[in-house]
Amino acid sequence: MELERHAYDVVVVGAGGAGLRAAIAAHEDGARTAVVCKSLLGKAHTVMAEGGIAAAMGNAYPEDDWRVHFRDTMRGGKMLNHWRMAQLHAQEAPDRVRELEDWGALFDRTPDGLISQRDFGGHRYARLAHVGDRTGLELIRTLQQRTVALGVDVFMECTVTRLLTDEEGITGAFGYWRESGRFVAWEAPSVVLATGGIGKAYKVTSNSWEYTGDGHSLALQAGAGLVNMEFVQFHPTGMVWPPSVRGLLVTESVRGDGGILKNSAGNRFMFDYIPDFFRKETAESEEEADRWYTDKKNNRRPPELLPRDEVARAINSEVKAGRGTEHGGVWLDIASRRPAEYIRKRLPSMYHQFKELADVDITREAMEIGPTCHYVMGGVEVDPDTQEARLPGLFAAGEVAGGMHGSNRLGGNSLSDLLVFGRRAGTAAAEHARKRAGLVELAEDALADAARAALAPFDREGGENPYAVQHDLQQTMHDLVGIIRTAPEMEQALARIAALRDRIAALSVEGHRQYNPGWHLALDLPHLLLVSECIARAALEREESRGGHTRDDFPAADPEWGRTNLVCTRTADGGVTVARQALPQMPPELAEVFEEQP
């Protein structure tokens, strides 16, 4: 077999914010480091992040500090977050933002010259450091420049299809060059997964083509556990029209900067959907909500800025009740509330997105929006300090890791998560590699097996078409494991997933290995299927409603479930099993934070 071979201390799979930050940390710790990514360097999904990076820097409100950020994050996640991850995240995010600035990131400024911080749902204070609505682009630009300047090796347009292991843990990874279709293997005692999310399991999503759950699936197959997979975030505001852009994100900054939600009758309906859990900190009247934008100390937040799960469910209910727009959404209106110049300055990308894609001028008209699959809270179960998975030598950071966001992520908390835990994963991976130096070797039979599996779709003739299978899987998840769930529907989903597994085993592709998108999809589909099965199984098991998981047949949150995590692992026959696990106990000194005034 023709195979390109490399040896490193640390191989990072993924070049988004988490992967690049991990690679920088590993390299700075003396590890020979490589980054592998499916797309071109600089094109990772992180580049799409719009609103900003949440960090309690106290620039807008000096009374903000890590404890308030920690509390907001835990409450947003309905207390199911791993407390230690939420603590580290809140404590370290400000330093990670300042470090980014030292490395050349140009954030928007306050009149006093500090990094400007904007409001976002679920955050007590204006806390998101931002660059207009193109924060992800600046973050990636800065990290990428540093990665390249340090001399980290980058394998771009290269897909990892398998993790390689021995009895002691990780030994490396196997993949293929997308352009030539040729195989490549990396020997390494440490692998950091930073592969992002799973949005392409759903029909309507804000996620790009890369989000096929590869890292989740690779980790599971190698023996790691996935925690909280039932929690999928549907962002309340995706475009709904025209169909070609359905699902594309409309940033939460539109609401943070004054936008409100209205139904087809013109009513500002979010006041009808304030849950008791958030009532104390949410405005009671439109007048109070509107005053909040200029006086946050004496007024409470508008209900449009409730956490995303609450807003997405409210929109879903309005549409179901027949008060939606013609295309099945609701209206998001900033045009009648802010001057055109302000909108163009604060939300330049949104302005262009609607103008160019929907021929809507958002400085004059409302936007038609609806929920879109956006983020997965579930991911690889990791140690909170090192990001190491159950499998020695395997680390995970960013969206592919689980635990940090509990049952629902607050906006802005992902970019900070990438920086905080990317760095921690890189450092720990370098340390692990030092301990295992000279002790790992790639097994020839495992390499041959990985190559055989990758080529199998070429060997079958007249089998299933990958695009048809992907369509059916996305439709299944959309219809049966979406925002609102019931047991019979999820049982039906699992039956369809079982049938899809047989179809995936019969996939066939035509042509040759050079840049063959049908083949690439055929290799992504088993990942998407495995991840979909984890989501459906965990969602069926959790008989309560919490955060990004709403059961029509169990509409309330259950205190017992509030102390329980679900962890998916792989069975010997390639299926998925779900086990209950006690939530890690928060120490009393941290629990005190929740007794303080919100």
Residue numbers annotated as active site: 308
Single residue of 206, 476, 532, 550 touching ligand FAD by CB under 6 A? 206
Nearer to ligand FAD, 48 or 481 (CB): 48
Residue 247 near ligand FAD by CB under 6 A: no
Q: What share of the chain is helix, strand, coil (3-state, %, to 5)?
A: 40, 20, 40
- The CA–CA distances, whole Å, from 484 to 282, 507, 536, 568 equal 24, 31, 12, 21
Helices (H) and strands (E) in the chain, counts: 17, 22
**C-alpha radius of gyration, the chain, whole number:** 23
H-state helical runs in 409-443: 413-435
Phi, psi (degrees; rounded to nearest 5) at 379: 180, -165
Residues 6+ apart with CB under 8 A from 518: 465, 466, 467, 509, 510, 511
- Is position 49 an interface residue for ligand FAD (rule: CB under 6 A)? yes
> Coil, strand, or helix at residue 189?
coil
Residues 50, 251: contact at Cβ < 8 Å?
yes
Among 77, 181, 196, 378, binds ligand FAD (CB under 6 A): 196
Spatial separation of the C-alpha atoms in residues 176 and 6, rounded to whole Å: 13
In whole angstroms, what separates CA 169 from the centre of its chain?
26
State the CB neighbour count (10 A cutoff) for residue 420: 26
Q: Is residue 239 close enough to count as binding ligand FAD by CB under 6 A?
A: no
CA angle 160, 166, 168 (to 5 degrees): 120
- Residue 52 sits in the site that holds ligand FAD (CB under 6 A): yes
Is residue 522 a contact point for ligand FAD (CB under 6 A)?
no
With binding defined as CB under 6 A, does residue 214 bind ligand FAD? yes
Q: What SS3 state is found at 466?
A: helix
With contact defined as beta carbons under 8 Å apart, do 69 and 82 qualify? no
Find the shortest distance in angstroms from Cβ 255 to ligand FAD: 13
Q: For residue 19, state whether it binds ligand FAD (rule: CB under 6 A).
A: yes
Residue 443 CB, nearest approach to ligand FAD (Å): 21
The residues pairing with 566 across neighbouring beta strands, listed in sequence order, are 580
Angle between helices 135-150 and 413-435 (to 10 degrees): 20
**92 binds ligand FAD, rule: CB under 6 A:** no
Q: Which stretch binds ligand FAD (CB under 6 A): 111-119, 410-418, 436-444, 586-594?
A: 410-418
Closer of 530 and 578 to ligand FAD (Cβ): 530
Which span sits near ligand FAD by CB under 6 A: 46-54, 475-483, 551-559, 586-594? 46-54
Binding range to ligand FAD, per CB under 6 A, among 146-154, 192-200, 326-334, 496-504: 192-200
Looking at residue 454, its amino acid is A
Query: And the tokens for 321?
Result: 């009740």
Which residue bears the tokens 């030292």? 102
Interface residue with ligand FAD, options 23, 37, 429, 522 (CB under 6 A): 37
For position 256 contacting ligand FAD by CB under 6 A, the verdict is: no
By beta carbon distance, the residue nearest ligand FAD is 16
Per CB under 6 A, 353 contacts ligand FAD: no
Told to check if 210 binds ligand FAD by CB under 6 A, we report: yes
* Contact flags string 113-152 toward ligand FAD, x per CB under 6 A: ----------------------xx----------------
Residue from 12, 44, 90, 568 binding ligand FAD (CB under 6 A): 44
Which is closer to ligand FAD, CB of 93 or CB of 586?
A: 93
Token pair listed for 352: 């262009």
User: Binding to ligand FAD by residue 207, rule CB under 6 A?
Assistant: yes
Position 46 contacts ligand FAD (CB under 6 A):
yes
Out of 418, 473, 480, 535, point to the residue binding ligand FAD (CB under 6 A).
418
By beta-carbon proximity to ligand FAD, the closer residue of 72 and 399 is 399
Q: How far is the CB of 265 from ligand FAD (least distance, A)?
A: 30
Length of the chain equals 598
| Stretch near ligand FAD under the rule CB under 6 A, chosen from 335-343, 409-417, 560-568, 583-591 | 409-417
Give the count of residues interacting with ligand FAD (CB under 6 A). 41
Q: What tokens were used for 144?
A: 């990428």
Q: Does 398 bind ligand FAD (CB under 6 A)?
A: yes
Q: Using the 8-state DSSP alphabet, how is residue 453 labeled? A: H
Stretch that binds ligand FAD, among 71-79, 85-93, 146-154, 406-414 (CB under 6 A): 406-414
Of the candidates 455, 464, 465, 459, the one whose C-alpha atom is nearest the C-alpha of residue 513 is: 455
- What's the closest the beta carbon of residue 462 comes to ligand FAD, in angstroms? 28
- Binding of ligand FAD by 87 (CB under 6 A): no
Intra-chain end-to-end CA distance of the chain, in Å: 62
In whole angstroms, how far apart are CA 342 and each of 132, 291, 519, 547, 573?
Answer: 12, 18, 47, 33, 58
- Pairing, β 117-118 against β 10-13: unpaired
Q: Which of 8, 11, 12, 14 binds ligand FAD (CB under 6 A)?
A: 14
203 binds ligand FAD (CB under 6 A): no
Among 29, 50, 309, 368, indicate the residue that binds ligand FAD (CB under 6 A): 50
Residue with tokens 């990076």: 53
Residues that bind ligand FAD (CB under 6 A): 13-19, 36-39, 44-46, 48-52, 135-136, 159-160, 194-196, 206-207, 210, 214, 249, 375, 398-400, 411-415, 418
